[in-house]
Amino acid sequence: MSTTPVSAASPFRVLTSASSPSAPPPSGETEEIHALKPPVDPTTLHHAQLRRDEFWRNIPAYADVTYEQFIDHAWQSKHTITRPEKLIETLQGLVSAEFVADVNAGFHRAPMSLRISPYLLSLIDWRDAYADPLRIQFIPVASRLLPDHPKLGLDSLHEQADAPVPGLTHRYPDKALFLPLDTCPVYCRFCTRSYAVGVDTDEVEKVQLKAKPERWQRAFRYIASRPELEDIVVSGGDTYNLRAQQLQEIGETLLAMPNIRRIRFATKGPAVMPQKILTDDAWVDALTRVVELGRKLHKEVVLHTHFNHPNEITGITQDALDRLHERGIFVRNQSVLQRGVNDTVDTMRLLIKRLGHVNVHPYYVYVHDLVQGVEDLRTTLDTALTLEKHIRGSTAGFNTPTFVVDAPGGGGKRDAHSFEHYDRDNGISVFTSPAVKEGQFYLYYDPLQLLSPEAQARWTDPKEQYRIITNAIERAKGKIRP
């Protein structure tokens, strides 16, 4: 009889589909398990293989940094790089002079300023810096930048237009987005809030959303006055940058409002500086107290984070997330689909499997917003549709993300499949959002560089632009049931 052993120490053996199960074995004998297919080689389970080496020592500037130093959030914050000159100094001997010049030119054209942690910098493969998915997300190079689509805008989601008071966006009937501050532990090139986050750049003068109590109180008064509001997303900026006392104050103030049932604290932190969760006891304790208070009040308080690539998840990440899990803090993830980062089936599948392995629920994958200055990162709606089809079934449904388009112009998040019309030739899709803004049409545009030369030429002509948009909307109207 043909069998496949589970392991040398296992009391079980697996029967192939060609074999027949026999009667239960006598006591002490090996039990046989009928299986339709043999077990997987554990070495192929890449999602569970997290690096725990001292990878930071590959950076000459960090070669003598001990584990105890590297794991300290205060050390990470102190050595976070905020100037291109310091970045170049840190990378001496790792990159060419041509790459240095490319980076310098890239930051002069970028809508986001520089802020990158030693942890994140150390995870980049500087032997192939141009292709590295983490470098692509955080460090611009001028040679790879592309012209913006003519329909891009700085605040493409119209968050400010839907803001009754500064730093509070009320778009959905029962949910609001509260932005208590405008700084983050790192700055992502692709940030949809590049109109406000970080310091001014050569390209963008930022809207100011400083952490001021007076502004917060205006937001709290508005939230308390609207009985329909039940769900508050606390973002920014990034809640990682709130002091422990501020985090607790915001949480307790919101939980004290009878109308509020759910709070989501949003942070990129676990992906770019997990050390804070391991060593900033005051911040983690404050978050824990808010979560526990919410539980006592029968309200939900969770953490939303933002991993985009499996290389961002290390053994340090797992240790940090284990600490949150032990405290009963539920973590969801929202990824952004980016060209050259996570736009292949293998990478996206590995990402969602690895997230599940460290107890993070893959919640959303956003089709990249229409953000200025990062056209090299955007990809097509069709890419999202293909990825979703191929990854569904790779893991449990509750650990399979929904692919969404955050409808430009303020329509909110729409399932990527829910377009009313999609003209793939001209790269334009039309969405509606009946529960948010009845009767309006929201247009998403694929990047020009992924269209045919003929289609690219059409978008350079204002008359052709009008014809393409008008035709797309008319086609969408024809598919909407009365």
**42-53 confidence digits (pLDDT tens):** 999 999 999 999
Let me know the angle formed at the C-alpha of 71 by 66 and 72, rounded to the nearest 5 degrees. Answer: 105
Q: Which residues contact 68 (CB under 8 A, 6 or more apart)?
A: none
Angle at Cα 300 formed by Cα 297 and Cα 305, nearest 5°?
Answer: 150
pLDDT of res. 480: 75
Q: Going by DSSP bridges, is the β-strand pair 31-34/168-169 parallel, antiparallel, or unpaired?
A: unpaired
Q: Taking the domain 168-417, which CATH number applies?
A: 3.20.20.70
Q: Give pLDDT tens digits for 208-231.
A: 577 788 999 999 999 999 999 999
Least confident of 7-21, 37-51, 137-151, 401-415: 7-21
For residue 27, pLDDT beyond 90: no
Tokens found for residue 251: 């949480």
Segments making up each domain of the chain, as ranges: 3-39, 55-144, 168-417, 419-482
At 210 the pLDDT is 74
Nearest to 231 by CA among 259, 256, 266: 259
C-alpha span between 50 and 371 (Å, rounded): 32
Question: To the nearest 5 percent, what fractions of the chain are helix, strand and coil?
Answer: 40, 15, 45
Tens-place pLDDT, residues 430-458: 999 999 889 999 999 999 999 999 999 99
Give me the chain's average pLDDT, please: 89
**∠ CA 39-45-50, rounded to 5°:** 150
Degrees to nearest 5, angle at CA 144 with 139 and 149:
105
Cα Rg, the chain, nearest whole Å: 25
Nearest-angstrom CA–CA distance, 359 and 351: 12
Q: What is the pLDDT of residue 1?
A: 41
- The answer to whether the beta carbons of residues 278 and 320 sit under 8 Å apart is yes
89/193 Cα distance (integer angstroms): 29
Query: Looking at per-residue confidence, does 428 or 478 come out higher?
Result: 428
- Distance CA(193)–CA(335), nearest Å, equals 15
Residue 94 predicted with pLDDT over 70: yes
Between residues 245 and 161, the one the model is more confident about: 245
